[in-house]
Structure 1
Amino acid sequence: MKIAIYGQAYQKVAVKSVDKLLTSLSAMGADIFIEEDYLHKLKMSSIDNRYGCFSKLDKSFDLLFSIGGDGTILRAITYVKDLGIPIMGINTGRLGFLATLQTEDIEVATKEIFAKRFSLEERSLLSISTTNGKKDFGQLNFALNEIAISRKNTTSMITVETYLNDEYLTNYWADGLIIATPTGSTGYSLSCGGPVITPNTNSFVLTPIAPHNLNARPLVIPDSTKIMLKASGREDHHLVSLDSRIFTIRNNTTLIIERAPFNIKMTQLHDQSFFKTLRKKLLWGADRRN
């Protein structure tokens, strides 16, 4: 197998995971390539020069290991894009809804992967464009977790005029508005009162951020819906974030948000499940009395 490895920051806690992963993959005879910036950072540790590197991916890769937290996976998808390369996340961060593999399980996991004892879970993405003909978001105009519109350089709220399939919905008067995928429902949207949505649900959720009109509640919609937004406020610009990538957009720019034309494939071992992750990460059912 041809394996890609991606990480963002050099951390001592992550080096242990990298060493264990490289040892396990090498024992299985894998062709190993590490993202070039990450490889440069790892050379500060005991990582040697016998591994290849990459600056971009192609369809010849069989799997990408992401080492870090969920944010690292969100960065990793900017390399994977629409190539269909499965991703497995090794969690060296904190929460880890996407990066569910722990360091102590790496050796067993690599054996399971080479034996083809795993499944692929497809995750939908959002795409964004403008009607002004400008490529404000470049080629990376997609998000796995959420697209969020929020205020900039002001403590005043913004107004987000919202249309669904060209039908007027409402004006959100708030700090901003989140459009989240099922994957992103356990992220920013959840912290703002949004619902948890299972990954295979064909839906998105609109979650206002600290709305002034208190009757504004999260709204679940089919993922076939075309969402049109126009933000305005006291400042001339507002922010649009695509997962962890932030852009400054002029007020009253019409934004079109739709389901992206491709999915991301997440690798899931047979002893893993979304509900198991929920119980573990959100402590569902945990009670000191039990």
Structure 2
Amino acid sequence: MTRRVLIVTHGGRPEAVVALREAVRELHAAGFEVALHDDDLAESFGDQMVAARLREGVAESEVVMVLGGDGTILRAAELTHGTQVPLLGVNLGHVGFLAESEREDLRAAVQRLAEQDYVVEERTVAAVSVQRPGEPTPLTGWALNEATIEKAQRQRMVEIGIEVDGRALSSFGCDGVILSTATGSTAHAFSAGGPVMWPDVDGVLLVPLSAHALFARPLVIGPTSSYRITVLDRSPVPAVLTCDGRRTIDLPVGSTVEVRRGEHPLRFARMSTAPFTDRLVSKFSLPVVGWREAADDAAAARAREAALTDATTDDPYGGPTTDDPDADVRRV
């Protein structure tokens, strides 16, 4: 039985093309059939790759391998959402929070893939429903990281109302709000001052952006609850909804956006058994030694050095200082 891997990468980056050539070579050597999602890249790799290419071939693939950063992984997620096919990210970007392997580990990742030496982890997505004035049917979508509602014009704040489970909670003027999954809590929501949520937290986070309000703190709801955000009639400007920084829709005044936990999680191939805490420390280069402890250690090191210097002060001939007046004569 032929095993297939579909590769998604950023064809505009030279380092991605170099990594792609290595990945194709290693996958072929491991017995995989390889397909490329990018038409132009597939054609540049020759006729045999064009024949293997299938845009609709995600379901036939064992894994979708992503060569790139988190943005490329979010693009690949659009292919696998609603399927059972896991994503395997190889980081070519800066942080690469969603990636499982680094560029230098590509060969080892392929070998473990060939041996099926990995586990599949499911990540919750946010289900999004938009009802715009005058439209009988709501528009639906989803987000792996976050759905962001922002003012459509930079000169004014957008006025929004927030409900949880159909009950009014608060309303205020702001630049917008971020509605994030646990996966997305380390992305846009984190930059806006939201908390870091461990991946197994089955909730949806809301983070206001520059809210003109006394009560505008991040909120987290559980898996059976939902948010409803309304662009209020008094709002001087409309808004725009963006899912994962990729898919956008205009929100005229009077629009409502409902966000809840989605029914279909995304699947990721995981090869590391390290806990999320280690990933957090590594990706953000967190100082696990506090500055007070580091300062104490530095002070102690300076004290030891000073004591050693006082005890072993050298004379011009390289020997210890002494009170014996004949010592230099004897050395000569």
Give TM-score, length-normalised by structure 2.
0.80
Residue 321 (structure 2) aligns with = none
Q: Which runs of 5 or more structure 1 residues have no equivalent in the other structure?
A: none
CA offset at residue 275 of structure 1? 2.1
CA offset at residue 54 of structure 1? 2.3
1:217-236 to structure 2, matched below 5 A, reads: 217-232=217-232, 233-235=235-237
Quote the Cα distance in structure 2 between the aligned partners of 1:223 and 1:231: 24
Residue 192 (structure 1) aligns with = 192
Structure with greater strand share of residues: 1
| 8 Å contact from structure 1 (residues 160, 177) kept in 2 | no
Quote the Cα distance in structure 1 between the aligned partners of 2:113 and 2:274: 13
How many pairs align? 282
Residue 128 (structure 1) aligns with = 128
1:133 is aligned with what amino acid? Answer: P
| 8 Å contact from structure 1 (residues 160, 230) kept in 2 | yes
| 8 Å contact from structure 2 (residues 126, 261) kept in 1 | yes
Cα gap change, 1:286 to 1:50, in 2 (>3 Å):
farther
1:57-206 to structure 2, matched below 5 A, reads: 57-131=57-131, 132-137=135-140, 141-206=141-206
Instruction: Decide which of 20, 23, 26 is 1:21's aligned counterpart.
Output: 23
Quote the Cα distance in structure 2 between the aligned partners of 1:163 and 1:57: 41
| 8 Å contact from structure 1 (residues 90, 99) kept in 2 | yes
Quote the Cα distance in structure 2 between the aligned partners of 1:272 and 1:3: 25
Residue 242 (structure 2) aligns with = 241
| Helix, strand or coil at the partner of 1:54 | coil
RMSD over aligned Cα, in angstroms?
1.9
Structure with greater helix share of residues: 2
| 8 Å contact from structure 1 (residues 86, 265) kept in 2 | yes
| 8 Å contact from structure 1 (residues 64, 88) kept in 2 | yes
CA offset at residue 136 of structure 1? 3.7
CA offset at residue 214 of structure 1? 4.4
User: Which protein shows a greater Rg?
Assistant: 2
Q: Choose 82-91 or 4-13, whichever is displaced more.
A: 4-13
Residue 7 (structure 2) aligns with = 5
Quote the Cα distance in structure 1 between the aligned partners of 2:220 and 2:258: 17
Task: Describe the superposition over 1:112-144 as per-residue Cα deviations: whole angstroms up to 9, x where unpaired.
Answer: 12212211111011111134433545xxx1110
Q: Which runs of 5 or more structure 2 residues have no equivalent in the other structure?
A: 298-332
1:134 is aligned with what amino acid? Answer: T
| 8 Å contact from structure 2 (residues 91, 102) kept in 1 | yes
1:274 aligns with 2:276: yes
Quote the Cα distance in structure 1 between the aligned partners of 2:265 and 2:190: 22
1:143 is aligned with what amino acid? Answer: A
Task: Describe the superposition over 1:1-58 as per-residue Cα deviations: whole angstroms up to 9, x where unpaired.
Answer: 21111123321111221112111110111011101xx2414655xx333222122344
Identity %: 24
Give TM-score, length-normalised by structure 1.
0.91
Q: Which runs of 4+ in 1 moved over 6 A?
A: none
| 8 Å contact from structure 2 (residues 231, 251) kept in 1 | no
